[in-house]
Amino acid sequence: MTLPPIEELEKCLSRLPGLGRRSARRAALALVREKERLLRPLALSLDAAATKVRCCSVCGAFTTIDRDPCGFCSDETRDSSLLCVVEEPADIVSIESSGAFRGRYHALCGKLAPARRMGPEKLRLAELRDRVVREGAKEVLLAVSTDMDGDATAGYVAELLRGTGAKVTRLAFGLPADSGIAYCDPLTLKRAIRGRLDM
């Protein structure tokens, strides 16, 4: 049995990150209530994203079908000797918004997670090694999560790149901005103490 259109819309919206069932219902009702102002432009945007957005063939960042390689890969002002490895293309957007990185990127499109059957063959690891060798990267910065799967991925990448001549580094661990010591977990505090900086 097929769902009525509004329930189908609600079901689809509830699959988006950050939208629970109630929020998805409110969004669905707002969309159908204001078709011309909200629903039709959203439908056009979704269609354009589905047909025109893809991942860059070099780094894996989001780009359009008419711009491959992407702007990060084709920008001659970026430091090609520094390569930042991220788990997902969305992570590139976050790092770029910091304004602190001017090198190039490589999205793995996941992380090692044996419980979810995500092994090395499902990640863009071979492409990473080929790229490091081909482009002569001097440093590879691992910007992966600090959970167990992220740590396993970082260790695997470091081992994979051994012998390429590239120095492998990882983002520093520490206290979040505007946070107090009383609110940090023991592992974060341990990593912050080990990674302390000179003043």
d(CA 105, CA 72): 7
d(CA 124, CA 108): 5
Q: By the 8 A CB rule, do 141 and 158 touch?
A: no
pTM for this predicted structure: 0.84
- SS3 for 31? helix
Q: Class of 76-199 per CATH?
A: alpha beta
- SS3 for 118? strand
74: Cα within 13 Å, side-chain hemisphere: 8
Q: Which residues of 59-78 are buried (b: 16+ CB within 10 A; e: fewer)?
A: bbbbbeeeeeebebbeeeeb
**What are the start-end ranges of the H helices in the chain?**
5-14, 21-33, 40-52, 71-74, 89-98, 125-135, 148-160, 186-194
Task: List the pLDDT tens digit at each of the 199 positions of the chain.
Answer: 677 999 999 999 999 999 999 999 999 999 999 999 999 999 999 999 999 999 999 999 999 999 999 999 999 999 999 999 999 999 999 999 989 999 999 999 999 998 899 999 999 999 999 999 999 999 999 999 988 999 999 999 999 999 999 999 998 887 777 777 777 788 888 877 777 767 6
Q: Where are the beta strands (DSSP E) in 59-126?
A: 62-64, 79-86, 103-107
d(CA 23, CA 165): 50
